[in-house]
Every structure is written in structure tokens, then in C-alpha cells.
Chain A
Amino acid sequence: MEVDKELLKHVAEVARLELTEKEIREFLPQLKEIIEAFSEIQKVDTKNTRPSYHPVELKNHVREDRAASCLTNEDALKNTEHRKDGYFRGPRIL
């Protein structure tokens, strides 16, 4: 697989990052080197091995269906600069 400028720009766009030309020049050889080193992992035989999404065995915790206190509207909006009528105000969609 070719790790090139186009792929890097595409991945950055998916991640909502705008890279400058200087950043692209710096990151590209670094990412090539890292991805090549990480590709080594494909040598491990993992046939019939289940993936571990967590390191310890976990069970689903189901809580009782009861009313409990939660974040107030005031607290939820406490850290935003963009609020209107008790809601978050975001950038335009269209």
C-alpha cells in the first residue's frame, strides 16, 4: 500500500484536520516509517484468535430502571460560548 500525499490529505480530511504544506512535508515520511513498522504485526498468526476489545472479561452492567438526577441544563451549557435559548448553538449545516 502506497502512503502518499493524497492518502495523507484524505485521512486528515476524514479526521477534520486541515494540514498546512509544511505539516504535510513533515508528517509524510514519519507516517510512512510508522505504518511500515506497524505493518510487521501482520506476520503474527491469529487464525482462530478472537479479538480482545477489552483486556479483562466484562459483563454488561444493567442498572435498575429508576429515575436519577442528571446534568442540569445550566451545567451542560456552563462551558460553551455558543448558546441560545437553553441550547448549544452550532455552525450552519447547509
Chain B
Amino acid sequence: MNAAEFVRQAKSGKIDPVKNTKKFLEESKKIDSDYHYFLKFNEDAPKQAKELKKGRLYGLPVSVKDCICVKGLESRAGSKILEGYEPVFDAAAIEKIKAEGGVIVGKTAQDVFGFGSFNVNVGIGYKVPKNPFDKTRATGGSSGGAAGMVQKSELPHIAISESTGGSIAAPACYCGVYGMTPTYGRVSRYGLMDYANSMDKIGVMAKDIEDVALVMEIISGYDERDSTSKDLPAEKYTEKSDSRFRVAVVKESLGKGVEQDVKKNLIAKLGKLKYEEVSLPLTFRYGIQAYYLISLSEASTNLAKYCGMRYGKHEKLEGNFNEYFSGVRSKNFSKEEKRRIILGTFARMSGFRDAFYMKALQVRTKIIEEYRQHFRKYDIVVTPAMPNIAPKFSEIDKMTPLENYMMDIMTVGPNLAGFPHLSMPSGFSKGMPTGMLIIADHFQEKKIIDFARSLK
């Protein structure tokens, strides 16, 4: 049953939202004890389900990635440094979900502040989520809890998540669900805890493309509280259009290092559809470097505010400013948080700034133009969502941090350039899902959704 059908039944009285919410929480807790998809359950959800607006999400369970603020519900962005923080306001996307009668059921697990491709970079003392198809494998990151729960839940449910460099597409691919990352500026970032503010985007994960369309229609739109929000009305994603699509597949994305079944499944999914091959040499050669240099530079300033004074973890007020702040940060940031803050600080420092940070911003301009030349000719550009199936934890343990970063080769391009993209299941390999990435020009989410419908 998809979300629209669930809402129809709830509105007609066939489904009781309160009973359904209780059932969902019970099911989630059972799953969570084995798979670790939640960081916090909303125990007030059944009570809240008694007083819902009869909107387009009436009674539907909605999970929220931990980095998105929900009023009164502990929100930590997966990090120990924010332990105990209870936002006093809802993120803009959450206001809209609530206004349509959605029930917030809890906060889902993630890599700290979105820092990871596999959701193994969890906060100090937190558990790593496991893949719903094979517990010895990763869910993908950083929105691992969201993707795992969407796949594993037997009950209708959608997940609000977030991507900076691939944090929706990667876990959606590894867990075999749909994951939509909208254009930068399409969905308000108000109430989202920053990783890299020039790339962060709130999106959605679901089992059904129609659920993606419905939720995207609800959460999109201009918000004056986000200075980077685009002044464009939300489109009617739920209205189907019978379009013909001019499609291109990226040559480099089917090259060395990509598993055979991933390539085979992608071509099979396109079926008899006519497509041409295009090339994105700069993106595939320098996209990772540009993405990490910009995102880590921004992250290193964004995380400066976590210093044990206003929210999150506090320590006894001892020593001077620098000693106190350094103490709180050193004690509560995990290794990956420290590594990324150091790298970002390095890239912005006097003497290195022009060679790294500024250079990466210029390369971003060239990468945007590289995609743009193809969008003048094609509606849709396709690549695999990830080059492989979800890796085993034992394989991830052997990777160096650099090898980890290189895994984002498919997803950093559209994220760096702000293009909307959808990770869609393309088939299976060794019992594990594979995925394809459907990319379009800025603010062309409707084309992506219609194209995915045509492949379903």
C-alpha cells in the first residue's frame, strides 16, 4: 500500500491513525533492536495522532533524519556533541509535513553530521545500522537509518532525509528504495543542521515513486527564512505527464571499478529505450577533490558553533575560553568529525586557501558547465547510483579514509553542482540491490519523477 492509498483509507475510517502509529512504533522498536535504524523514538506520536489535520499525509508515519530539527524531540545530527539538544522549533519541511497530517515517529540514524558514505561513522557510543538484506553489510550513508527503515518496514512509511554529497542516493541504492535529492534551493534548509551549507538539501526516501512525488510536492517551495531558497512555486509532481525523454548515459560511469552486475542491471532497466553515451571527464576526474575541499571547508566553520555553551554537551566551566571549547570539542567529537574539521581548516588557512578552497570553487563552475552542455541536448542523464553493492563491514574496516571518500564517485557530481537526482532500484546482484541515478537540470524534478514512472 502506498502513501496515497494509506491516506485514503485513513480518511475513510478504515485505518485508525492512533492504532496504526502505535503499531508502527512497536514494529520499529522490534526492527531497531536488531538493525539500529533509530536514534530517538517519538513516544508522544500516538497522542499526537489523535489531533491530526486531515491533509494529504493524514496519519502517515514519517521518520526524520536526525540532522533535521523536530520541536521537542532530541536532535543530534548523529553526534555526541549535540546529546540532549531538543529544538524549540520545527524545520520548515517538518512544519509542512505536520500541516498535512503526517505523524513524526522518530529520528533516524546517520553518520555524524552526514560525514560518511556507509553510516559507519556514528557518534561516540552509538550503534551502526545494518543493511536490511544482509546484516554483515552497511546500509550506506549518511542517511542509513532512513533507507534501512523504508526497506524493512512492512507498514506504509516515508522518510525525510538529507544529502550533501550523496547521503540520500547511496543508502537508497544499497537498501533498494527510491531516494530523491532535489535541486539546491528547492526545499527550505530552515531547521537543518549544516554540514556544507552550499550543498545541503532535504529530500525524501520511499518504497514507491508516487510517495516520492507526493512528499516532494508538499515540502518544496520558497521560504524567506532560508536565504538560499529559490523563489519558485512547488510543481505538481503527483500529476503524471506522458513525456518523451532524450536520455544519455555517462560513459565514465560504466568504466573501470564499477561492478559488472551494476552495469548490466542499469542497461537492462533502460530496456528498449533509446539513449546515447556522453562524457563527463572533468567531473569524474576532479569531482571528488572539488566536493571534499568545499564541503570540508564549509563543515569546519559550521561546526565551530559546537563548543559546549548554548546546546548539546556541556562540561564544567573551567579554564579560559580556548581551553574550555577545545576540551568540550576534543572529548565529544568522533574521529571522523575531527579529521574533517582539520582538513577543512587546512584548506581555508592563509597560504593554502587559493590553492585549495578557491580552486575547488572554480572547478565547481566548470563541472556545472560540463553537465549543462549535455542538458542542452538531453532531458535526463543516467549513471549507476553506486559503483557496487553494499560492502561488508569487514571490507569497510580495511579502507583508508581516502578510499572511503573515493566511493562517492557517482554522487558527488550532481550534489556539487546542485542538480536534482533520484536513486532508483535497478535490480539485484548476489542478493543485494543495485541502483541507477537519474539526473536532470536544475529545478527539473518533475522530469526525473516522470522518467522514473516510465521505467517502473
Q: Hey, which bits of chain A sit against chain B, CB under 8 A?
A: 1, 8, 11-12, 14-19, 23, 26-27, 30-31, 33-35, 37-42, 44, 46, 49-56, 58-61, 63, 71, 75, 78-82, 88-94
Find out whether the CB atom of B405 lies under 8 angstroms from the CB atom of A34. yes
Q: Are A50 and B362 in contact (CB under 8 A)?
A: yes
Inter-chain CA distance A68–B286, complex, in Å, is 45
With A12-B342, A16-B326, A59-B231 known, 12 other A-B pairs at CB within 8 A are A15-B304, A15-B341, A17-B330, A31-B346, A33-B401, A34-B405, A37-B402, A52-B364, A61-B229, A79-B85, A79-B88, A93-B321
Describe A's contact surface by its main secondary structure: loop
Instruction: List residues of chain A with CB within 8 A of the CB of B363.
Output: 41, 44, 46
Q: How far is the CB of B363 from chain A (nearest CB, A)?
A: 5
Give which listed residue, B231, B293, B300, B319, contacts A41 with CB less than 8 A. B293
Contact check, B339 vs A92: say whether CB atoms are below 8 A apart.
no
A49–B369 Cα gap in the complex (Å)? Answer: 11
Tell me which of B300, B329, B335, B359 has the highest count of chain A C-beta atoms within 10 A of its own C-beta.
B359
CB pair B289–A90 under 8 Å, yes or no, is no
* CB < 8 Å A-B pair total: 178
| CB–CB A11/B324 < 8 A | no
Chain A residue contacts of B366, Cβ below 8 A: 44, 46, 49
CB pairs A–B below 8 angstroms (11 shown): A1-B352, A11-B349, A17-B333, A26-B335, A27-B338, A30-B402, A38-B292, A42-B359, A46-B363, A79-B86, A80-B314
> In this complex, what residue of B is CB-closest to A38?
B289
Cross-chain contact B312 with A79 (CB below 8 angstroms): yes
* In the complex, chain B residues 218-272 whose Cβ is within 8 Å of any chain A Cβ: 224, 227-231
Given contact pairs A78-B86, A81-B314, A91-B323, A53 touches B286 in the complex (Cβ within 8 A): no
Q: Known interface pairs A30-B402, A41-B286. Does A49 touch B362 (Cβ–Cβ under 8 Å)?
A: yes
Kindly state the separation between the CA atoms of A92 and B424 in the bound complex, as whole angstroms: 53
- For the complex formed, measure the closest distance between the CB of B341 and the CB atoms of chain A, giving whole angstroms: 5
Total interface residues on B, CB under 8 Å, equals 76
In the bound complex, how far is the Cα of B325 from the Cα of A42, in angstroms? 35
Residues of A within 8 A of B185 (CB): 56, 58
Describe B's contact surface by its main secondary structure: helix
A91 touches B318 (CB 8 A): yes
The answer, yes or no, to whether B361 is at the interface (CB within 8 Å) is: yes
Asked if B105 is at the interface of the complex by the 8 Å CB criterion, the answer is no
Q: Are A49 and B365 in contact (CB under 8 A)?
A: yes
CB contacts under 8 Å to A, within B296-313, are 300, 304, 307, 309-312
Task: Tell yes or no: B183 within 8 A of A by CB.
Answer: yes
How far, in Å, is A72 (CB) from chain B's closest CB?
Answer: 9
Docked CA distance A34–B318 (Å)? 36
A44 to B370, alpha carbons, bound, how many Å? 13
In-complex Cβ contact of B400 among A33, A40, A50 (8 A): A33
- A interface footprint on B327-356 (CB within 8 Å = 1, 0 otherwise): 101100101001101110111010010011
Considering the chains assembled together, what is the distance between the CA atoms of A60 and B363 in angstroms? 24
- What is the CA–CA distance of A50 and B361 in the complex, to the nearest angstrom? 8
A55 touching B198 in the complex, CB below 8 Å, given contacts A46-B366, A79-B311, A82-B309: yes
| Closest chain B CB from A34 CB (angstroms) | 5
A51 — which chain B residues lie within 8 A by C-beta? 358, 361-362, 364-365
CB-nearest residue of chain A to B313: A81
Bound Cα distance from A88 to B85, whole angstroms = 16
Whether B327 pairs with A18 at a CB distance below 8 angstroms is yes
- Tell me whether A44 and B368 are in contact in the complex, defined as CB-CB below 8 angstroms, given that A16-B325, A53-B198, A93-B321 are known contacts: no
B417 near A14 with CB under 8 A, answer no
Residue of A nearest to B300 (CB): A15
Once the chains are docked, how many angstroms separate the CA of A44 from the CA of B358?
12
B366 to chain A, nearest CB (A): 6
Residues of B within 8 A of A8 (CB): 342
CB-based contact B320/A93 at 8 Å: yes
Is residue B84 within 8 Å, beta carbon to beta carbon, of the partner chain?
yes
CB–CB B84/A79 < 8 A:
yes
Which residue in chain B gives the minimum CB-CB distance to A94?
A: B320
Chain B residues, Cβ within 8 Å of A88? 309-310
Q: Which of A17, A33, A41, A56 contacts B289 (CB 8 A)?
A: A41
| CB-defined contacts of A16 to chain B, threshold 8 Å | 304, 307, 322, 325-326, 329
B172 within 8 A of A: no
A63 to B224, CA, bound (A): 8
List residues of chain B with CB within 8 A of the CB of A11.
342, 345-346, 349
CA distance A78 to B286 in the complex (A): 44
With the chains together, A50 CA to B364 CA distance in Å?
10
Question: How far does the alpha carbon of A23 sit from the alpha carbon of B230 in the complex, in Å?
Answer: 42
Give the distance to chain B from A59, nearest Cβ to Cβ, in Å.
8
* Chain A CB within 8 A of B68 CB: no
Taking each of A19, A82, A88, which has the highest tally of chain B beta carbons within 10 Å of its own beta carbon?
A: A82
